[in-house]
Amino acid sequence: MTIETVVLTGAAGRVGSVLREPLRRRLRRLVSVDRVAVTDRGPNEEIHRTSLAGVEDAMSVIGGADAVVHLAGVPDEAPLADLLEGNVLGSHHVLEAARRAGVGRVVLAGSNRLTGCYPAARTVSPQLPPRPDGLYGVSKVAVEALGRLYADKFGMEVVCLRIGSLEPEPTDPRHLATWLSPRDCAGFVWSALTCPGVTFTAAYAVSANTRRFWELDEQLGYQPQDDAEVYADRIPGVSDYFAGDPLQGGVYATADYTIRHALDPR
């Protein structure tokens, strides 16, 4: 699949910031979009500071693209109304704009946290039912459902990447299972943009961690290169963490995390 122009939403965020440079190297034109300022524009990069508050807003930046990588949204636990607006409605605006503009492929930012309530001892595939570890995970279940709808009903090609813990290097015991290195992040996204034969797929984007919780998707064709185990000796508390068989979401799966970030504690 030939990809020359890609729209990257959420370009100033953690994932978008990692992806801009490797995408610029491969593309004729990268359109970076965020509601906050995006700096260090590359020579083949357009930058748009805008929100995705409606379909027309999304249409204004998507027209002429070969594909969209949609990362914009609320990145963590929050009140459900905020998550519905930022993650679910925002994804719908992008998908509908892509449909109207004739963009063939959309890569959506899913999350490993839509299965965070599975136990660590269970190897999870995208075919298993969701078990979100919070309201953020619930919003990502809805995002995947929207992607499936647009693939099934309108013939679009949609890839939902369930993104792992994107960090320069793992620093937490849970990261030994969930880490996604910057190099592997770029590799998964490029494969999601270019792999042939896609209608709809949901796939975990995670490095080749010895202790990973999740099955890799063979359809994307990307084999991750990095393993968090290289850093295990630098991380305190690893033995105790995995001996306790925690939920895969770790602290995100605790009741307190959702109460503190998303619910009125009174």
Number of neighbours of residue 151 by Cβ within 10 angstroms: 20
Q: Which of 118, 136, 204, 222 is catalytic?
A: 136
**Could you tell me if 20 and 45 are in contact, meaning their C-beta atoms sit under 8 angstroms apart?**
yes
Going by C-beta distance under 8 Å and a sequence separation of 6 or more, which residues neighbour residue 239? none
Active-site residue flag, 150: no
DSSP assignments along the chain, one per residue? ----EEEEESTTSHHHHHHHHHHHHH-SEEEEEESS---S--TTEEEEE----SHHHHHHHHTT-SEEEE--S--S---HHHHIIIIIIHHHHHHHHHHHHT--EEEEEEEGGGGTTSBTTS-B-TTSPP--SSHHHHHHHHHHHHHHHHHHHH--EEEEEEE-EE-SS--STTHHHHEE-HHHHHHHHHHHHH-SS-SEEEEEE----TT--BPPPTTT-------GGGGGGGSTTHHHHHHT--BTTGGGGSHHHHHHHHS---
**Could you tell me if 9 and 60 are in contact, meaning their C-beta atoms sit under 8 angstroms apart?**
no
Compute the Cα dihedral for 231, 167, 159, 212 and give only its sign. Answer: positive
Which active-site residues does the annotation give?
136
